[in-house]
Amino acid sequence: MSLINRQLRLKTRPEGLVRQDNFERHEQPVPELADGQALVRVLYLSMDPTNRVWMSDIPQYMPPVAIGEVMRSLGIGRVVASKSKHYALGDLVQGLVGWQDYALLDENKIGYWVKLPSKPPVALPTLLGACGFSGITAYYGLTDIAPVQAGETLVVSAAAGSVGSIAGQIGKLRGARVVGIAGGPEKCRHLVDDLGFDAAVDYKASDFKQKLAEATPEGVHVNFENVGGPVMRAVLSRMVNGGRVALCGLIANYAGGERASDDYSVIIVKRLTVRGFLAFDCPDQARAVRDLVGWVVSGKVKAGETVVDGLENAPAVLNRLFDGSHTGKLVLRVADDG
Contact positions toward its own copies, by CB under 8 A? Answer: 59-61, 228, 232, 237, 241, 247-250, 253, 259, 261-278, 281
Phi, psi of 201 (to 5 degrees): -125, 135
User: Cα–Cα distance between 71 and 54 in angstroms, integer?
Assistant: 9
Phi, psi of 48 (to 5 degrees): -130, 150
Cβ closest to its own copies, residue 247 vs residue 293: 247
| Residue length of the chain | 338
End-to-end CA gap in the chain:
19
Phi, psi of 264 (to 5 degrees): -80, -20
Q: How far is the CB of 268 from its own copies (least distance, A)?
A: 4
Q: Which residues of 215-224 are buried (b: 16+ CB within 10 A; e: fewer)?
A: bbeebbbbbb
Cβ closest to its own copies, residue 77 vs residue 228: 228
DSSP-derived letter for residue 66 is P
Cβ closest to its own copies, residue 33 vs residue 237: 237
Q: How far is the CB of 16 from its own copies (least distance, A)?
A: 16
Q: How far is the CB of 262 from its own copies (least distance, A)?
A: 4
Cβ closest to its own copies, residue 114 vs residue 267: 267
User: Cα–Cα distance between 139 and 166 in angstroms, integer?
Assistant: 8
Q: How far is the CB of 253 from its own copies (least distance, A)?
A: 6
Task: Report which residue type is found at 282.
Answer: C
Cβ closest to its own copies, residue 7 vs residue 226: 226
Cβ closest to its own copies, residue 241 vs residue 298: 241
Task: Report which residue type is found at 190.
Answer: H
Q: How far is the CB of 305 from its own copies (least distance, A)?
A: 24
Q: How far is the CB of 273 from its own copies (least distance, A)?
A: 5
Distances 156 to 153, 159, 239 between C-alpha atoms, Å? 10, 5, 13
Chain-centre distance for alpha carbon 264: 26
Q: How far is the CB of 261 from its own copies (least distance, A)?
A: 4
User: Cα–Cα distance between 113 and 47 in angstroms, integer?
Assistant: 17
Cβ closest to its own copies, residue 9 vs residue 238: 238
Q: How far is the CB of 31 from its own copies (least distance, A)?
A: 33
**CB hemisphere CA count around 10 (13 angstroms):** 21
User: Cα–Cα distance between 121 and 274 in angstroms, integer?
Assistant: 36
Cβ closest to its own copies, residue 129 vs residue 249: 249
